[in-house]
Chains A and B, each alone.
Chain A
């Protein structure tokens, strides 16, 4: 495995007029590494994720990605065609609300197959075989392949969205509150699934969440954000067991114990 970071983020800031979205964020992400970004609502987690995934242009700072050809490319300087191609092949984006990431009016099979067709797969049988394989991997019955996602439960939709993103074997997946709005038992199953997939596929992932339990389960490393800035970062277990910043201590002690 390459020892070079997959993603290099250098001093990224995003301002909405005079308001701060996020400021002076720098970090590096290596292949196979899962990074959690935690913080309360409005702390800039999602803004940062959007800047990293080119859904928003940062006001200043550089985000560089290690392309498959071994070159580092500044995402902001990439052409739109190339960026969109990267987004649907080498990257994945899992939305909090599955309806944002899925095509609700086409079948589950077509949802999974869309990326394959987008990169030029023109064999129906193969596309369908790959789609059923992926549905199985995310624990959706193959008999549901021709059902539309609107007939699926929230947890199934989220799993379908994950399958749809992983079908092109991306190297980097962005997840925005992947377990938001799911009940705890479904959350647990989803987390289990994501953890398994990340491990099996050697994915790098950046997960935005306000749920520290999600971060604990999935991530190797975490960053704590407050008011747009990263106030603490380190290994997940270290940050959660031995928080240094007062705000992080507050956050950790706010977890309800059952």
Chain B
């Protein structure tokens, strides 16, 4: 009896998927609202994307093309193992190219390339509650969301400015969705916050340990919180990418040796490869070729 040993398509059983889809639909209907769901045990530890994986498993169909990124990269541990997981349990096509993917599961980055209609971005979220570090009581934070009492969020930003002279929050930067719910955009760098605003793609957020799903439907207002005299700003980098010469992208710092050598390269590996294939070159790439 071979049937007993196989997994259901995309690992989760159909009743579980149904439950998660209902949570997703509710989340889409109330943008930014955290919908509780009965999160399942997944064959990976909490903190490795159990929420994102459950969301992906519930929306995945046989025709889908999946891309998984971890801090922008397609080839890091988390991305490789989740991609392999879905290849095994759903036998879906996978890709590293942003353009070709229909579902992109991401850990803490939004691809540089503009997403289009029909694509879905699934975020892995560790702590979905933006008010958590200021208000530890769940009963209280729920009430604050319900009554739209978001003054506390600005207390956090005030503290930032008072201590550092500017808003020093660089990731998990709180946003207000569609003028109503304040939402934690998961620990993406604030560089990516503007990409969430009026995005053509559907954005789903899954927090496995905290058992919450929330969503930003396509073409939704996503506004980063700020002060009138300290407006929201994204990070900027002094140099372009050392490999592809791209500017206006998010860069990772790579330590090269123990003598202080370092380089800044695109965090989005697919974007970087694309650009190099098109003939763009940064200063480190040119040197490497000259050496060969």
Contacts and interface: CB of A to CB of B under 8 A. Distances in A.
Contact of A114 (B151, B161, B227): B151
A124 B230 contact: yes
B259 interface: no
A146 B163 CA distance: 7
Contact of A117 (B155, B162, B163, B226): B155
A119 interface: yes
Nearest to B157: A124
Contacts of A146: 162-163
Contacts of B134: 103, 106
Contacts of A122: 154, 226-228
Contact of B154 (A109, A117, A125, A128): A117
A254 to B, nearest CB: 41
Contact of A124 (B147, B149, B151, B161): B161
B158 A119 contact: no
B159 A110 contact: yes
Given A117-B154, A124-B227, A80 B147 contact: yes
B10 to A, nearest CB: 42
Which of under 10, 10 to 19, 20 to 34, or 35 or more describes the interface residues of A? 20 to 34
Interface residues of B, number: 18
Contacts of A80: 143, 147
B168 interface: no
Contacts of A81: 147
A113 B147 contact: no
A145 B229 CA distance: 19
B35 to A, nearest CB: 22
B158 A110 contact: yes
B20 to A, nearest CB: 31
A110 B162 contact: yes
B19 interface: no
A110 B155 contact: yes
B152 interface: yes
B159 A106 contact: yes
The residue in A106, A110, A113, A118 that gathers the most chain B C-beta atoms within 10 A of its C-beta is: A110
The residue in B151, B161, B229 that gathers the most chain A C-beta atoms within 10 A of its C-beta is: B151
B104 to A, nearest CB: 34
A220 B152 CA distance: 36
Contact of A118 (B151, B159, B162, B163): B151
Nearest to B158: A110
Interface string A127-167: 11000000000000000011000000000000000000000
A166 B84 CA distance: 59
A10 to B, nearest CB: 28
Given A81-B147, A84-B147, A84-B149, A124 B155 contact: no
A122 B154 CA distance: 8
A110 B163 CA distance: 11
A96 interface: no
Interface in A67-107: 80-81, 84, 103, 106-107
A123 B147 contact: no
Interface string B155-197: 1001101110000000000000000000000000000000000
A114 B230 contact: no
Nearest to A145: B162
A113 B229 contact: no
B221 to A, nearest CB: 17
A107 B162 contact: yes
Contact of B159 (A107, A115, A119): A107
Nearest to A106: B159
B202 to A, nearest CB: 30
The residue in A81, A114, A118, A124 that gathers the most chain B C-beta atoms within 10 A of its C-beta is: A124
Given A84-B147, A146-B163, A117 B158 contact: yes
Contact of B155 (A106, A119, A123): A106
Contacts of B149: 84, 118
A125 B158 CA distance: 10
A81 B163 CA distance: 32
A119 B162 contact: no
Given A117-B155, A124-B229, 18 more contacts: A81-B147, A84-B147, A84-B149, A103-B155, A106-B134, A106-B155, A106-B158, A110-B158, A113-B155, A114-B151, A115-B151, A117-B151, A118-B152, A122-B228, A123-B227, A123-B229, A124-B227, A127-B158
7 contacts: A80-B143, A109-B162, A110-B158, A114-B151, A117-B154, A124-B230, A146-B163
**Nearest 5 pairs of A and B residues by beta carbon:** A118-B151, A117-B154, A124-B227, A117-B151, A81-B147
